[in-house]
Amino acid sequence: MDRKNAELGQGDNHQKSASPYAIPVAFNRMLGHVHHADGSTGVVFCNPWGFDELCTRKFHRLVAAEMARNGISSIRFDYPGEGDSLPLEGPVSFESWIVAALAAGAELRQRSGCDRIVYYGMGIGAAVAVKAGCRDPDLAGVILAGASLNGRRYLREVALREKVIEDGIDIEFGYPSGATVLAAYVMDPQLAMDVKSLDVELTDLPDDRPVLVLARPDNLSDRQITDQLKSRGVPVESLDFDHYGAMLDGVVTSPMPLELIDKIALWTQQLNETKPETDASPAPVDTVRHLNGDGFCETAEQLDTGLFGVFCQPAHDTPSAVIVFLNMAYAPHTGWGGLWVEAARHLALDGIATFRVDLSNIGDSPAHPEGPEQVIYSRRQLDDVQIVIAHVRKLIKAPILLAGGCSGAHSALYAGAESPDVAGVVSINQLRLVLDPDEDIETTLKAGARPIGDYKRRAFSTQTYRRLLAGEINMVQASRHITGYARAYLSRIFSPYLGGLTRLGRLKGELFALLKTLERRRVPVTFVICRTDGSLDQHVLYFGKDLRGAAAFGHLRHIILENADHTLSPPSVRTEVIDILRRAAHDLSSGR
């Protein structure tokens, strides 16, 4: 059976829920997703932290869906203060994560009727899985995926990865001194202290409980975990964690180890026990989907098409406007570094509602059965946005503003022009104002965000020549980038004279027609761009030097962010972007 249809619950499967999708649930001030099945064994997913969780959210959804098809129920959830969950009133401790995992196990038992739990942990979540599993008297087994069981080693790896990120971008990030940071995620100081002293011993696990190790390629510590368990006589199996590095490299593409997913599901299926036919089904449990925060309330929404989103609104006031946040590439609805969650809760305090959503095949939303595997910049995404707009219109009658970054900005601009219900658009760091139909999407996404000036600097760098001679540079890929920029440069020179006869002339005609459509409807468009990622180059390409061509559109404005990167990492920049969104929403509600 096709994997897409399997996840959507179409065909022969073991799901017993009336809904073919995972059911969003709120419990203990946390938000989770329950995948129902009939077996006696369930799985609790213990996430990695921060950026790694962002990159693996889709992977874990697919694993959980395949498990459900094999009769294993599961729950995926966000730790307190992470993802969609509400923060704790005080500092976050590692103990609070263990308690959260045990609470998720209790929630799964109550909802599915399972009585034995497998704790799955990835990254630092593996330490949570071991600790929680040792406290659960009905432990069925443990899955350790790319496990980080030594806190000091883990924090060193995080610091090294962040250094690589920051060294490639010439800005001041402005993170708190001594903070543990990775790709705009800042770890709670108390949690960082707890992790630093963490050294998880596997000897506490029962000898008769099976363990599955998903081993990273050429990783010594993963092999040591397997060897240590074998020496104790623990029933352990090791699988190669295919595509691990590619998966954690970012969210611009979405490589999924489908064979590994099948193997994980089959391993858990072996732990399942058939319930006696005389066993009664678990008593119905009311599904709570609301989280009440300080000045805001959030509701997990599941559209008929399976799309998942979170509606955030002021706790007491009637919203003056609603902003729909769209995905940037494969980053889930929480946003890079949790930006959309942070923005939603701040804006609610100013009387502005928001809807952060996962479009098809991203984050917590399953793939459309007839949609493409590569959904970024696809027609499927624009159709999804129209479905989301219709859903939001049912929730609230306030003016709707679409906002997104990069590919999400592209979706916001195009869907805004198509839908008469859209009253405003905020496009952030849009690297393709118009997508050339001859452009290869995979190549474009993998090229990343980089200004033309950076390519020029690298082209004349002695370090580049050394890497070239050493064979470290992919000449085919580099040639494509250089040829593409050269073509754009020549097209920019000749397009004013040749108009639609040039590629740029045709693309510019498409963009300007779209902007004129928005202009006729008096829909304000705000382009937010930074200097370090190539988005400014893109706007210069279409609007000319100093962006003077934008003056032809009365409802169009540009805002240039200083000291910003493509993913809006610096805390000061995130504050500025939230303020831009606030002003755009207030302008809509006031009719300006």
Task: State yes or no: pLDDT of 377 exceeds 90.
Answer: yes
Residue 10 vs residue 295, higher pLDDT: 295
Q: Looking at per-residue confidence, does 129 or 317 come out higher?
A: 129
pLDDT digits (tens, 9 = 90+) for 100-112: 999 999 999 999 9
DSSP 491-514: HHHHHHHHGGGSHHHHHHHHHHHH
pTM of the model: 0.89
Between 9-13, 40-44, 148-152, 230-234, the lowest mean confidence (pLDDT) is in 9-13
In the chain, pLDDT over 90 holds for what percent of residues?
77
Ramachandran area for residue 318 (φ above 0: left; ψ -120 to 50: alpha; else beta): beta
First to last CA, the chain: 53
Could you tell me which of 451, 456, 445, 425 has the C-alpha nearest to residue 555?
A: 425
pLDDT digit string, tens, across residues 514-542: 999 999 999 999 999 999 999 999 999 99
Q: How many domains, the chain?
A: 2
430 found inside a domain: yes
Residues 258 and 307 in one domain: no
Distance CA 560, CA 535 (A): 10
Q: DSSP code of 113?
A: -
Q: Do 35 and 146 belong together in one domain? A: yes
476-507 confidence digits (pLDDT tens): 555 555 555 555 544 444 444 344 557 889 99
Residue with tokens 């996404």: 445
DSSP class of residue 549? G
pLDDT digits (tens, 9 = 90+) for 47-94: 999 999 999 999 999 999 999 999 999 999 999 999 999 999 888 999
User: Exposed, middle or buried by CB within 10 Å (0-12, 13-18, 19+), for 551?
Assistant: exposed
* Residue 392, pLDDT above cutoff 80: yes
Query: Could you tell me which of 141, 127, 136, 144 has the C-alpha nearest to residue 41?
Result: 141
- Indicate the pLDDT class of residue 277, thresholds 50, 70 and 90: low
CA quadruple 27, 28, 31, 33: dihedral sign: negative
Question: Does any domain span residue 481?
Answer: no
Is the domain of 251 the same as that of 341? no
Amino acid 21: pLDDT: 84
Q: Are residues 134 and 164 in the same domain?
A: yes
Q: Do residues 428 and 520 both lie within one domain?
A: yes
Same domain for 331 and 246, yes or no, is: no
Give yes or no: residues 83 and 189 share one domain: yes
pLDDT score, position 366: 96
What is the pLDDT, as a whole number, of residue 373?
86
Q: Is residue 552 part of a domain?
A: yes
Q: Do the Cβ atoms of 583 and 576 come closer than 8 Å?
A: no
**What is the Cα–Cα distance from 350 to 295, expressed in whole angstroms?**
10
Residue 413 CA, chain-centre distance (Å), reads: 21
- Which residue intervals of 377-521 are DSSP H helices? 379-395, 407-418, 441-447, 452-459, 462-469, 475-498, 503-520
Q: What pLDDT, on the 0 to 100 scale, is given for residue 459? A: 40
The whole-number average pLDDT for the span 26-54 is 97
Burial of 372 (0-12, 13-18, 19+ CB in 10 A): middle
pLDDT at 3: 60
Q: Do 74 and 218 sit in the same domain of this protein?
A: yes
Neighbours of 461 (CB within 10 A): 11
Q: Are residue 255 and residue 307 in the same domain, yes or no?
A: no
Computed over every residue of the chain, the mean pLDDT equals 89
d(CA 118, CA 209): 10
Count CB atoms within 10 A of the CB of residue 167: 8
pLDDT in tens, 227-237: 999 999 999 99
More confident residue, 72 or 475: 72
Range 177-182 contact pairs with CB under 8 angstroms and sequence separation of 24 or more: 180/155, 182/49, 182/50, 182/51, 182/52, 182/158
Same domain, 538 and 424: yes
Quick one: pLDDT at residue 255? 83
Q: Which of 424, 443, 391 is nearest to 528 (CA)?
A: 424
434, 324: one domain: yes
pLDDT at residue 283 greater than cutoff 70: no
Q: Decide if 465 is inside a domain.
A: no
In sign, the C-alpha dihedral spanning 102, 104, 110, 115 is negative
149 in a structural domain? yes
- C-alpha 328: how far from its chain's center? 8
Q: Is 217 a member of any domain?
A: yes
Q: Please report whether residue 484 resides in a domain.
A: no
Residue 474 belongs to a domain = no
Q: What is residue 260's predicted lDDT score, i.e. its pLDDT?
A: 97
Instruction: Decide which of 6 and 95 is more confident.
Output: 95
- Report phi then psi at 436, rounded to 5: -65, 125
In which domain, by residue range, is 184 found? 19-269
Q: Are residues 314 and 420 in the same domain?
A: yes
Compute the 3-state secondary structure of the chain and give helix, strand, coil in percent, each to the nearest 5: 45, 20, 40
pLDDT value at 560 more than 70:
yes
Assign residue 134 the CATH number of its domain. 3.40.50.1820
Q: How far apart are CA 282 and CA 305, in angstroms?
A: 27
Owner of token pair 């001859």: 438
Q: Give which of 171, 53, 189, 181 is closest to 573, Cα–Cα.
A: 171
In the predicted model, is pLDDT for residue 193 greater than 80? yes
What's the pLDDT at 468?
A: 45
Share of the chain above pLDDT 70, in %: 85
List pLDDT tens digits, range 425-457: 999 999 999 988 888 877 777 766 656 454 344
The secondary structure of residue 579, as a DSSP letter, is H
Q: Which two tokens stand for residue 217?
A: 């390629």
pLDDT at position 465: 42
pLDDT score, position 496: 46
Look at the block and give the residue holding tokens 């709670």: 188
